[in-house]
Amino acid sequence: MEPVKQEAIPLPDDAAMAVERLERLVQREREGRLQAEAIAERGLRELYESQVRLALLQRITDCANRSNDFSEAIGEVLKEICEHMNWAFGTAYRVEGGGAAVSCDAWYTAEPAKLFPLVEATRDRTFPRGEGLPGRVLRDGHPHWIDETELAAHACRRIAAACCGVRSACGFPVLIGDEIVCVLEFFSHTSMLDKDAILLTVTQAATQLARVIERERARATLLHDALHDAMTGLPNRTLLDERSRAAFERLPESREGLAVLVIDLDGFKAINDKYGHHAGDIVLIETARRFDSVITARMGGRRRGDQASWRATLARVGGDEFVVVLDALPDPAIAMDLSGALIDALKAPILVADEYVNVGLSIGIAHSGTSYCSVEQLRQDADLAMYEAKSGGHGGVVTFSESLGNERRNRMALESELRDAIREKQFTLYYQPIFALGKAGANTGKLRGFEALIRWNHPDRGLVEPGRFIPAAEAGGLIVFIGDWVLRQACNAMARLHAEMTAQGLDPGELPYISINIAPQQFLQPTFSSHVQRVLLETGVPPELVRLEVTEGVAIIDPDQTRQVLEQVRSWGVKTSLDDFGTGYSSLSYLQNLPFDTLKIDRSFIASMDDPKSRKIIRAILDLASNLNLSVVAEGIETMEQGASLREMGCEYGQGYHLGRPLDEASAFALVWPEGTASAA
């Protein structure tokens, strides 16, 4: 039985339209669902990529925060970026002082063997502005991209890139403010399509690298400032100590090959005093510049890349003192040769405050040897040699020797004993009488004064003459204390004598004067005149009985200041004497303008009176004194013949062993009393 075939019943028109609407609705729902799924998928993908990028930047930030310097951070940053971007190779270039992009040999690749040609073509490479991808970034200051076509046609490393299968590259600046301090460069096996995402990621990483470089610079600045002199830029004492100790440790068994030069500027204090400290700073800066230039030239231009056989460290260790440490010297003569060159470098005057000033040098040299256990000992001996050079008064160079060391050590021991002597009051005064030699027989032999002479009553050596300890006192800075003590003691003694004569009803007007030597350092003290006034008031000595002696050398250091001080003390009634006249310092103009009352002829002329030249000098001094209305005292009269000759030449006063030896206070002042005869026969 065959099935009954049913025919489709046609729908009404309105039903067909309803179905069509339903199908369109379903389609829209399907499309909306697919679109929503796509949006959700894209959002999830973007969220994931954002999280991955944030995680990358967090790792880079952590790396930047814990890194002490750029070289420590850059390798990890390149690795993170290359792995995140799936790039083949990344490298970095440092830019210093706005110059070229210089490879810092920091790079990363996951396939070093495959990328070896490109790595080798990049390492130790320098790109000037505009050259290559790093140079273009450096020139333009913004990122650059290179696609496969440009890489193959124009890139300077195109052969290496082709060998490694590289198809694209990009470069990014690392900025601190507007300064490009680094360039990052990356290569990829594929095209770099999503440039916005790349730009966002690498730029943020570059910001973190810039922070590392800023901290590195700040640390470098702090370290440099801690180890260098702020004024001259030279190494300071700390860096000098570090380098010199390292050099000493490198010495061979013979301990030869190291030299230390200690340098002090002659005349620097006078420049400071006259022109001010700013002028002194100019002198120090220019001196450092000239020294550095000389040393660089002597080393054969080592700083320009050549290799010298020896090394040098020039340092400023304070004030006007410089030190040069010469390391690995093949010849000790190099130290002396360099010293001469340094002296020559300062022969040309230095412009200060619209005036040219001259500065000299005193240089001490010490060479290493088996006798030295440390570089500090070497420095001390170079310092001793420098002071020896300076003590001559004209600078120059002195090389340390064993005899110099012994002499200096003895002097230092003597200085130590002098300090004990000051503290324990071991000094005493002796008084050498000054007599009238007379003119044509008048007043011959009359006592006119005393010169106060210091003696050191040493507990072991007995009475020590001043010639054996005064130089050490001057070198050790003790002469001012000793000189002040002499001034006060002599004034006290004369005040006592004056009081005793007054109490006995004798005429104090017949009292001799007391002549007191004033040391150069003592006279040059700013408070010298006020100190003299205080001593006069406190001791009660009549000022007219006091005569201050200064030497020619100190009188002409600052003639204006000398005249001012002398006029001030003379206004109180104190007399003044120019000691050791004729030894070669004074000019007639100085003598005419300085208010002295007396000239003292140096004993060296008296000792050689048999020489016609000496007699002519003495005659000239006497004539000069007569014209200037000055009295004259001849020192060092040792024989009757000398006294007679001076008397015949018209010299008024004299002192010396023939006339009277230095005496203690009681014996000397006994000559003043009527029952004590004071004869110079």
Specify the pLDDT at position 208: 85
- Long-range CB pairs of 388-391 (<8 Å, 24+ gap) are 388/364, 389/362, 389/363, 389/364, 390/264, 390/266, 390/362, 391/475
Burial zone of 570 (CB within 10 Å; 0-12 exposed, 13-18 middle, 19+ buried): middle
pTM for the model: 0.58
> The domain 413-670 belongs to what CATH superfamily?
EAL domain (3.20.20.450)
Q: Is a pLDDT exceeding 50 seen at residue 305? A: no
Closest CA to 180 of 227, 143, 218, 152: 143
- In sequence order, the 6+-apart residues with CB closer than 8 A to the CB of 351 are 282
Q: How confident is the model over 400-435, as pLDDT tens digits? A: 988 888 877 787 788 889 899 889 999 999 999 999
Q: Give the start-to-end residue ranges of the domains of the chain.
A: 65-227, 237-400, 413-670
Specify the pLDDT at position 275: 85
Task: Kindly compute the dihedral angle of the four CA atoms of residues 624, 625, 628, 630, in this order, to the nearest 10 degrees.
Answer: 170
Specify the pLDDT at position 159: 85
Q: Is a pLDDT exceeding 70 seen at residue 629? A: yes
Q: Is a pLDDT exceeding 60 seen at residue 39? A: no
pLDDT greater at residue 210 or residue 183: 183
Q: How confident is the model over 498-534, as pLDDT tens digits? A: 888 888 877 767 789 999 999 888 998 889 999 999 9
Closest CA to 516 of 482, 540, 475: 482
- Provide φ and ψ at 577, rounded to 5°: -130, 145
Could you tell me the fold of the domain covering 65-227?
Answer: Beta-Lactamase (3.30.450)
Q: Is a pLDDT exceeding 70 seen at residue 558? A: yes
Stated as kind and residue range, the H or E segment containing 548 is strand 546-551
Say how far apart CA 407 and CA 24 lie, in whole Å: 118
The mean per-residue pLDDT over the stretch 59-76 comes to: 78
CB 190 within 8 A of CB 92: no
Q: Where are the beta strands (DSSP E) in 446-492?
A: 447-458, 462-464
pLDDT greater at residue 275 or residue 338: 338
Burial zone of 474 (CB within 10 Å; 0-12 exposed, 13-18 middle, 19+ buried): middle
Three-state SS across 89-137? EEEEEEECCCCCEEEEEEEECCCCCCCHHHHHHHCCCEECCCCHHHHHH
Specify the pLDDT at position 468: 84
- Provide φ and ψ at 94, rounded to 5°: -90, 145
CB 172 within 8 A of CB 137: yes
CB 235 within 8 A of CB 313: yes
Say how far apart CA 563 and CA 230 lie, in whole Å: 40
pLDDT category of residue 574 using cuts at 50, 70 and 90: very high
Specify the pLDDT at position 440: 46
Q: Count CA within 13 A, CB hemisphere, residue 611.
A: 9
Tell how far CA 375 is from the center of its chain: 19
Q: How confident is the model over 644-659, as pLDDT tens digits? A: 999 999 999 999 999 9
The mean per-residue pLDDT over the stretch 118-138 comes to: 90
Specify the pLDDT at position 302: 45
Among the residue ranges 90-99, 307-316, 335-344, 504-513, the one predicted with the least confidence is 504-513
> The domain 237-400 belongs to what CATH superfamily?
Reverse transcriptase/Diguanylate cyclase domain (3.30.70.270)
* DSSP code per residue over 215-284: HHHHHHHHHHHHHB-TTT--B-HHHHHHHHHHHHHT--TT--S-EEEEEEEETHHHHHHHH-HHHHHHHH
Say how far apart CA 588 and CA 597 lie, in whole Å: 15
CB 434 within 8 A of CB 515: yes
CB 190 within 8 A of CB 176: no
CA 62-66-71 angle, 5° bins: 105
Say how far apart CA 522 and CA 528 lie, in whole Å: 7
